[in-house]
Chains A and B, each alone.
Chain A
Amino acid sequence: MTVEHASELPEVIFGWSPMIVSSLVLIAAYSFIVTEKINRAVVSLLGAGLMVILGVLNHELAVEGIDFNTIFLLIGMMAIVGITKRSGIFQFVAILAARVVKGDPRLLLIALSLITAVFSALLDNVTTVMLVVPITLLLTEQLKLPAYPFLFAMIFASNAGGTATLIGDPPNILIGSAVGFSFMDFVYNVGPASVIIMVLLLVLFDFVWGRKFKTSLKARAHLLRYDPFEALTDRELMWKSLFTLGLVLFGFIGGHGHVEPGTVALTGAAFLMLLDIYKFKPEEQSHRVHEALKQVEWETIFFFIGLFIIVYGVEHAGVLDLLAGKMLELTESNMPMTGMVILWSSAILSAIVDNIPFVATMIPMIESMAPSLGGEHAIEPLWWMLSLGACLGGNGSLVGASANVMVASYAERAGQRISFMKFMIMAFPLMLFTIAIAMVYAWFRYFAGM
Chain B
Amino acid sequence: MPCQIAMITDVVTVKPEMSVEDALHLLEEKRIRAVPVVDDNHRLVGMFSFKQLLNKLLPVSATMEDGLQRLNFVIGTAPAVAKKLRKIKGDKVENHLNTEDVVVLHPETPTWETLRLIVRHGSPLPIITPSDGRLVGLLTEQSLLESLESILEDLDGPDDLDA
Q: Given contacts A230-B72, A230-B73, are A137 and B66 in contact (CB under 8 A)? A: no
> Which chain A residues border B66 with CB–CB below 8 Å?
130, 134, 410
A228 to B77, CA, bound (A): 15
**Is there contact, CB below 8 Å, between B70 and A222?**
no
A134-B61 in contact given A91-B68, A222-B80 (Cβ < 8 Å) = yes
Q: Is A36 an interface residue (CB 8 A)?
A: no
Instruction: Indicate whether A16 reaches chain B with its CB closer than 8 angstroms.
Output: no
State whether A414 touches B64 (Cβ < 8 A).
Answer: yes
Q: Which residue on chain A has the smallest CB distance to residue B79?
A: A222
Q: Verify if B75 is at the interface (C-beta below 8 Å from A).
A: yes
CA gap between A340 and B53 in the complex, in Å: 58
Q: Are A141 and B59 in contact (CB under 8 A)?
A: yes
> B60 near A226 (CB under 8 angstroms)?
no
The residues of A that contact B100 with a CB separation of less than 8 Å are none
- Among A137, A222, A233, contact of B61 (Cβ-Cβ < 8 Å): A137
- Nearest-Cβ distance from residue A139 to partner chain B, whole angstroms: 9
Of chain B, the residue at the smallest CB distance from A412 is: B64
Bound together, the chains give a CA A84 to CA B64 distance in angstroms of 22
| 0/1 string, A120-143, CB within 8 A of B gives 1 | 000000000010001101100110
CB distance from A283 to the nearest CB of B (A): 24
Question: In whole angstroms, how far apart are the Cα atoms of A227 and B80 in the complex?
Answer: 17
Is A225 a contact of B70 with CB atoms below 8 Å?
no
Q: Answer yes or no: A413 CB below 8 A from chain B CBs.
A: yes
Q: What range describes how many residues of B lie at the interface?
A: 10 to 19
Q: Which residues of A contact B64 (CB under 8 A)?
A: 134, 137, 410, 413-414
Asked if A195 lies at the interface with its beta carbon under 8 angstroms from chain B, I say no
Q: Is the interface of B mostly helix, strand, loop or mixed?
A: loop
Minimum CB–CB distance from B64 to chain A (whole Å) comes to: 4
B119 on interface, CB distance cutoff 8 Å: no
Q: Chain B: which residue is nearest A140 at the CB level?
A: B61
Q: Is B67 an interface residue (CB 8 A)?
A: yes
Shortest Cβ distance from A405 into chain B, in angstroms? 13
Q: Which residue of A lies closest to B68 (CB)?
A: A134
Closest Cβ of chain B to A446, distance in Å, is 41
Residues of A within 8 A of B153 (CB): none
Min CB–CB distance B111 → chain A (angstroms): 34
The total of Cβ contacts below 8 Å across the A-B interface reads 57
Complex-state Cα separation, A28 to B27, whole angstroms: 60
- CA–CA, A259 to B72, complex, Å? 42
B62 on the A face (CB < 8 A) = yes
Closest residue on chain B to residue A221 by CB atoms: B76
Residue among B60, B68, B77 facing the most chain A CB atoms (10 A cut-off)? B60
Distance A51 CA – B72 CA, assembled complex (angstroms): 53
Mask of B48-90 contacts with A, CB within 8 angstroms, 1/0 = 0000000000011110111110101111110010000000000
* Given contacts A91-B68, A134-B68, A222-B80, A228 and B61 within 8 Å (CB-CB): no
Q: Contact between A88 and B70 (Cβ–Cβ < 8 Å)?
A: yes
Task: Collect the chain B residues with CB atoms within 8 Å of residue A229's CB.
Answer: 73
> Which residue on B lies nearest to A137, using beta carbons?
B61
Q: In the assembled complex, which residues on chain A have CB atoms less than 8 Å from the CB atom of B70?
A: 88, 231, 233
Q: A410 — which chain B residues lie within 8 A by C-beta?
A: 64, 66
With the chains together, A134 CA to B62 CA distance in Å?
Answer: 8
Would you call B72 and A135 a contact (CB within 8 A)?
no
Q: Once the chains bind, are B74 and A226 in contact (CB under 8 Å)?
A: yes
Residues from chain B with a CB closer than 8 A to the CB of A222 are 77, 80
CA distance A135 to B66 in the complex (A): 11
Cβ-defined partner of A141 (8 Å) among B61, B72, B75: B61
Q: Judge whether A225 and B74 touch: CB under 8 Å.
A: yes
Q: Which residue of B is nearest A414, CB measured? A: B60
> Closest CB-CB distance, B151 to chain A, in whole Å?
40
A228, B64: Cα distance in complex, Å:
21
**Is there contact, CB below 8 Å, between B73 and A228?**
yes
Q: List chain B residues, Cβ under 8 A from A135.
A: 61, 68
A137 contacts which chain B residues (CB < 8 A)? 59-61, 64, 67
Closest Cβ of chain B: how far from A216's Cβ, in Å? 13
Nearest CB to that of B71 among chain A residues? A138
A130–B77 CA distance with the chains assembled, in angstroms = 25
Question: Is A15 part of the contact surface with B, judged by Cβ < 8 Å?
Answer: no
CB neighbours (8 Å) of A414 from chain B are 60-61, 64
B101 to chain A, nearest CB (A): 14
In the complex, chain B residues 8-33 whose Cβ is within 8 Å of any chain A Cβ: none
Cβ contact within 8 Å between B73 and A413: no
Contacts of B73 in A (CB 8 A): 91, 95, 226-231
Complex Cα distance, B75 from A135, in Å, reads 15
| Cβ-defined contact, B61 with A138, below 8 A | yes
CA of A413 to CA of B68, assembled, Å = 13
- Asked if A415 is an interface residue, CB under 8 A from chain B, the answer is yes
> What CA separation (Å) do A64 and B74 show in the bound complex?
52
Q: How many Å lie between the Cα of A287 and that of B28 in the bound state?
A: 44
Q: How far is the CA of A138 from the CA of B73 in the complex (A)?
A: 12
Q: A230 to chain B: which residues have CB within 8 Å?
A: 72-73, 75
Nearest 10 Cβ contacts at the A-B interface:
A230-B73, A137-B61, A413-B64, A231-B73, A138-B61, A225-B76, A134-B61, A230-B72, A134-B67, A225-B75
A-side residues, CB < 8 A to B, are: 88, 91, 95, 130, 134-135, 137-138, 141-142, 222, 225-231, 233, 410, 413-415
Chain B residues within 8 Å of A, Cβ to Cβ: 59-62, 64-68, 70, 72-77, 80
16 contacts between A and B (CB under 8 A): A88-B70, A95-B73, A134-B61, A134-B64, A134-B66, A134-B67, A137-B60, A138-B62, A141-B59, A222-B77, A222-B80, A225-B74, A225-B77, A413-B67, A414-B60, A414-B64
